[in-house]
Amino acid sequence: MKSDAATALGPHLAVLRQLQHVDLSFNGIGADGATQVCAHLAKLPQLTHLNLSANKIGWDTDCAPLLGPQLGNLRQLHHLDLSNNRLGTIGAKQLGPHLGKLTYLQQLNISYNNFGVPRCHIPRTAARETTAAPAVEFVVQSFWRDGRATTRSLPREATASAGCGSVVQQRW
């Protein structure tokens, strides 16, 4: 599925008012397609899970900055998967303020998005606590000089000592 197909699919998804889970992973829809689909998904009051992983979503197109506000409109989401895209440092900075609006978000997977090493690029506004999502789990992804990457979950109380340098994937 390419961007045009995603754009055509969006209005048809919007009429499925009871839809709770949407998985569009591995379709290569890019930032434009994701933006168009999210604009229509915001009309679904029951939507709690959205998987946009492996869709070549990058911040190298004109429409990419529009994706953040559209995702921010999906305020009822509990699970959001943006892993295996090309968000990069600029994308993380652009998404952060909008992800902070998702007050019910419990899990956010943004692994394998080329955030860089060793600094954390997820703005603190995206990591704020809310009363709507009391259980917070952080997933730490460490990158090693030899090219290896390791991933592990940290309990909430351990995140204070984990440091920003290795936290690039977070689950709320």
What's the per-residue H, E or C state across 23-57?
Answer: ECCCCCCHHHHHHHHHHHHCCCCCCCEEECCCCCC
The pLDDT of residue 103 is above 90: yes
Which sign does the torsion angle of CA 22, 56, 138, 127 carry?
negative
Q: How far apart are CA 38 and CA 44, in angstroms?
A: 10
Q: How far apart are CA 166 and CA 27, in angstroms?
A: 29
Contact 162, 139 (CB under 8 A): no
Report which of residues 2 and 81 the model is more confident about: 81
DSSP state letter for 136: -
What distances in angstroms separate CA 49 from CA 30, 158, 164, one per listed residue?
A: 19, 27, 27
* Per-residue pLDDT tens over the stretch 5-60: 888 898 999 999 999 999 999 999 998 899 999 999 999 999 999 999 999 998 77
Q: Does the predicted TM-score (pTM) go above 0.85?
A: no
Q: In what order do the strands lie in the sheet with 169-171?
A: 149-154, 137-143, 169-171
Task: Give the chain's domains with CATH numbers.
Answer: 3-131 (3.80.10.10)
Strands 49-51 and 21-23: parallel
